[in-house]
């Protein structure tokens, strides 16, 4: 059974290349004919893993193709996911399985509402990849991906082993919303500060007071949204991530540095929206959000 990859960028391309070389049928979906033509002119997707460069001539199409889709990997940014899925929604067979790789929280719900007859599987990934140029992907770090379905947490898809055999490390989680909230909380405590202080993750150790104030509020938010079990030890978890990724540049800082739109609405923005919905006043997070918005505006970047 074929996989379709919607969003053949960094992470989507990394998945697609590994599926292809494992002999699993896979097709890329580009947003329009221009992008498809550019891809064909490039001769395929190139992937660098360590010092190894490979070119994979994966078949590709546009959303307007009419063949049915049974398994779809949505690998666009969170702000593009809903429109991208809408463009292929009529091709999804009833019961199609749709894996959502988007970071943060909020985009998944919008996609689920768009395609009520499909089964949406949410992902939280620690894999790392970036695009050196169009259709040219670099694997930046090994990691793994948790997959889960809040509507059917015990229904493990039959293709999970196939992914692991294709060198895509995945694990089923019966608590995927908890995984996504934990990642979101850690991201809110780290990424915006790296942008405002223009620093690598490790340099945040100099801002321990700010981090403590943020993690206290994020802990209260986790309680409010029903994931209070994740609140104790949040500060230690944030500090451990800072140490483990000390030399890394956060994805948000990379986006700002390259003049790209950030996923702020689905991270800090979503956290504050949920806080408001639960009547929580989170002063340190609100101030951080205001400073980040000012910073993005100063750099001429979208604030949503």
Question: Given the rule CB under 6 A, which residues bind ligand NAP?
Answer: 6-12, 29-31, 35, 75-78, 80, 83-84, 87, 101-103, 125, 127-129, 131, 263
Using alpha carbons, select from 214, 149, 220 the residue that is nearest to residue 179: 149
In the complex, what is the shortest distance from the CB of residue 263 to ligand NAP, in angstroms, rounded to a whole number?
6
- Half-sphere exposure (Cβ direction) of 212: Cα atoms closer than 13 Å: 5
Rounded to whole angstroms, how far apart are CA atoms 221 and 100? 24
Gyration radius from the chain CA atoms: 19
**Minimal distance, residue 6 CB to ligand NAP, in Å:** 5
Q: In angstroms, what is the minimal distance from the CB of 85 to ligand NAP?
A: 8
Our CB check for ligand NAP shows the closer of 76 and 147 to be 76
CA-based nearest residue to 75, from 19, 156, 22, 21: 19
Looking at beta carbons only, is 120 or 231 nearer to ligand NAP?
120
Angle CA 80–285–178, to nearest 5: 60
Smallest distance, ligand NAP to C-beta of residue 220, A = 25
Q: Are 107 and 82 in contact (CB under 8 A)?
A: yes
Is 51 labeled as catalytic in the residue annotation? no
Nearer to ligand NAP, 189 or 213 (CB): 189
Which one of the listed residues 51, 77, 142, 183 is annotated catalytic?
183
Residue nearest to ligand NAP (CB): 9
- Neighbouring residues of 194: CB distance < 8 A, sequence distance ≥ 6: 200, 201, 203, 204, 249, 250, 252, 253
Structure tokens at 196: 């405002």
As measured in angstroms, the least distance from the Cβ of 48 to ligand NAP is 14
With contact defined as beta carbons under 8 Å apart, do 295 and 195 qualify? yes
- At its nearest, how many Å lie between ligand NAP and the CB of residue 249? 12
* Cβ-based nearer residue to ligand NAP, 12 or 178: 12
User: Rounded to a whole number, what is the distance in angstroms from the first to the last CA of the chain?
Assistant: 37
Ranges assigned E (strand) in the chain: 3-6, 26-29, 45-49, 52-56, 60-61, 69-74, 92-100, 119-125, 128-133, 136-141, 145-148, 170-172
For ligand NAP, the closer CB: 158 or 247: 247
Choose between 34 and 208: whose C-beta lies nearer to ligand NAP: 34
CB atoms under 10 Å from CB of 28, counted, come to: 27
Positions marked catalytic? 183
């Amino acid at each position: 059974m074929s996989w379709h990859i919607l969003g053949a960028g960094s992470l989507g391309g990394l998945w697609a290349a590994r599926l292809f070389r494992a002999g699993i049928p896979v097709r890329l979906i580009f947003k329009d004919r221009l992008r498809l033509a550019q891809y064909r002119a490039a001769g395929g997707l190139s992937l660098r893993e360590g010092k190894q460069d490979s070119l994979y001539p994966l078949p590709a199409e546009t959303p307007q193709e009419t063949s049915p889709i049974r398994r779809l990997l949505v690998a666009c940014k969170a702000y593009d996911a809903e429109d991208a899925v809408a463009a292929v929604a009529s091709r999804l067979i009833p019961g199609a399985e749709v894996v959502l790789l988007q970071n943060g929280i909020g985009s998944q719900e919008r996609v689920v509402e768009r395609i009520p007859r499909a089964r949406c599987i949410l992902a939280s990934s620690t894999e790392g990849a970036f695009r050196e140029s169009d259709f040219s992907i670099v694997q930046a770090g090994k990691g793994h991906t948790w997959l889960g379905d809040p509507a059917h947490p015990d229904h493990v898809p039959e293709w999970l082993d196939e992914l692991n055999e294709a060198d895509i490390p995945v694990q089923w989680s019966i608590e995927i919303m908890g995984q996504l909230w934990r990642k979101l909380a850690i991201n809110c405590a780290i990424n915006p500060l790296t942008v405002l202080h223009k620093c690598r993750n490790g340099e945040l150790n100099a801002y321990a007071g700010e981090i403590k104030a943020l993690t206290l509020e994020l802990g209260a938010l986790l309680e409010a949204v029903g994931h209070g079990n994740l609140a104790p030890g949040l500060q230690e978890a944030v500090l451990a991530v800072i140490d483990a990724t000390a030399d890394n540049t956060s994805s948000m800082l990379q986006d700002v540095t390259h003049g790209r739109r950030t996923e702020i609405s689905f991270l800090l923005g979503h956290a504050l929206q949920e806080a408001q919905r639960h009547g929580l006043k989170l002063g340190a997070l609100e101030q951080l959000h205001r400073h980040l918005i000012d910073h993005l505006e100063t750099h001429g970047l979208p604030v949503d």
